[in-house]
């Protein structure tokens, strides 16, 4: 009898107070068995959750009708499914408080989620074997997904739309004019956002970006380098539909053994910016591109 009472007392002290779904959720993340499932209560919103455990096999976080703000994943073998992912600081907050999700782990999958109300939806850096699938990226301030230093990266069957953005500003005295190029501003110029649906840079390798829909006022699927970045390697961009009103619907630069194939590229309705592919060093075939005069060759069998 004493043994049973002691066990019951231990269970009570290890259980978070009832009525706090976030405390219960965080405790479950720390104790779930490999291959198990942790579910956040429907309607709950939790902030600053960090998943740090390395699991020997895939373990699932089921969000359902719940929300995580500022999720960070540094562990391995985790799947996050459904629910809503937002930033702590919202769609116009710079830095990590503006990230919906930060991934720096291995063998991570996010699928079926709504990513919204963040400046950058999902930031992937120093990670491996990351898959983002079947999700919606809506009403973000800037980038949907930005990835760097990632080996093994898949972005498949997602939709990117409704970017909020922020135009450049030129202030002369008390007058502010928007969307003015820096060279044309005769006062104080402030740069705006440069949104990309999927941006890759600095050593992303073995990537597949496929069957996504990109719409609206955003750059599409891009490589945007900065000084000192490593090239991309073995990247395939395939079967995407990109209909945007800005430059760079599909752009690669220093990309080794890369392929752009069977994509549809169009201007968004009312846009005067030409819809073209800039392949850089990548091979291209069978793309249907609105404003290119030369048709792509057939892809090799």
The confidence score (pLDDT) of residue 181 equals 86
Assigned domain for 182 exists: no
Q: Residue 161 maps to which CATH number?
A: 2.160.20.10
pLDDT, position 7: 36
Query: CA 253, CA 222: separation in Å to the nearest integer?
Result: 9
**Low-confidence stretches of the chain (pLDDT beneath 50):** 1-17
Give the predicted TM-score (pTM) of the model. Answer: 0.90
Q: Domain tally for the chain? A: 1
Tell me the C-alpha distance between 90 and 141, whole Å: 8
- Region of 203 (left: φ > 0; alpha: ψ -120 to 50; beta: rest) is left
In a domain, residue 173? The reply is no
Q: What is the pLDDT of residue 13?
A: 31
- In 3D space, the residue among 145, 89, 95, 92 whose CA is nearest the CA of residue 121 turns out to be 145
Report pLDDT for 142. 97
| Predicted local confidence at residue 263, as pLDDT | 98
Antiparallel, parallel or unpaired: β 54-69 and 99-103: unpaired
**Is the separation of the CB atoms in 136 and 109 below 8 Å?**
no
Classify residue 185: in a domain, yes or no.
no
Instruction: Determine the 3-state secondary structure of 33 from DSSP.
Output: coil
- Whether 299 is in a domain gets the answer no
What is d(CA 263, CA 145) in angstroms, rounded to the nearest whole number?
19
Structural domain containing residue 93: 10-165+194-289
CA 53 to chain CA mean position, Å = 22
Residue 120 covered by a domain: yes
Assign residue 237 a region (left: φ > 0; alpha: ψ between -120 and 50; beta: otherwise). Answer: beta
Determine, yes or no, domain membership for 177.
no
pLDDT value, residue 180: 86
What pLDDT is attached to residue 197? Answer: 98
Q: Residue 301's pLDDT is what? A: 80
């Amino acid at each position: 009898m004493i043994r049973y009472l002691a066990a019951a007392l231990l269970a009570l002290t290890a259980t978070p107070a009832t009525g706090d779904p976030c405390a219960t959720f965080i405790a479950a993340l720390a104790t779930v068995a490999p291959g198990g499932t942790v579910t956040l209560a429907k309607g709950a919103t939790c902030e600053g959750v960090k998943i740090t455990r390395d699991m020997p096999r895939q373990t699932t976080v089921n969000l359902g009708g719940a929300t995580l703000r500022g999720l960070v994943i540094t562990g391995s073998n985790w799947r996050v499914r459904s629910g809503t992912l937002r930033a702590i600081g919202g769609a116009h907050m710079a830095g990590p408080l503006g990230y919906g999700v930060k991934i720096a782990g291995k063998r991570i999958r996010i699928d079926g989620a709504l990513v919204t109300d963040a400046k950058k939806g999902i930031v992937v850096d120093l990670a491996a074997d990351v898959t983002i699938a079947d999700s919606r990226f809506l009403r973000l301030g800037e980038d949907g997904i930005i990835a760097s230093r990632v080996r093994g990266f898949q972005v498949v069957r997602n939709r990117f739309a409704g970017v909020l953005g922020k135009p450049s500003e030129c202030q002369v005295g008390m007058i502010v004019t928007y969307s003015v190029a820096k060279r044309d501003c005769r006062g104080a110029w402030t740069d705006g956002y440069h949104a990309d649906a999927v941006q890759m840079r600095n050593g992303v390798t073995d990537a597949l970006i496929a069957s996504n829909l990109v719409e609206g006022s955003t750059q599409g699927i891009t490589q945007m380098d900065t000084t000192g970045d490593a090239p991309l390697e073995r990247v395939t961009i395939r079967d995407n539909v990109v209909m945007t009103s800005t430059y760079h619907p599909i752009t690669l630069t220093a990309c080794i053994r890369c392929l752009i194939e069977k994509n549809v590229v169009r201007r968004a309705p009312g846009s005067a910016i030409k819809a073209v592919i800039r392949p850089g060093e990548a091979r291209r075939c069978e793309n249907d591109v609105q404003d290119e005069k030369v048709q792509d060759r057939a892809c090799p069998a």
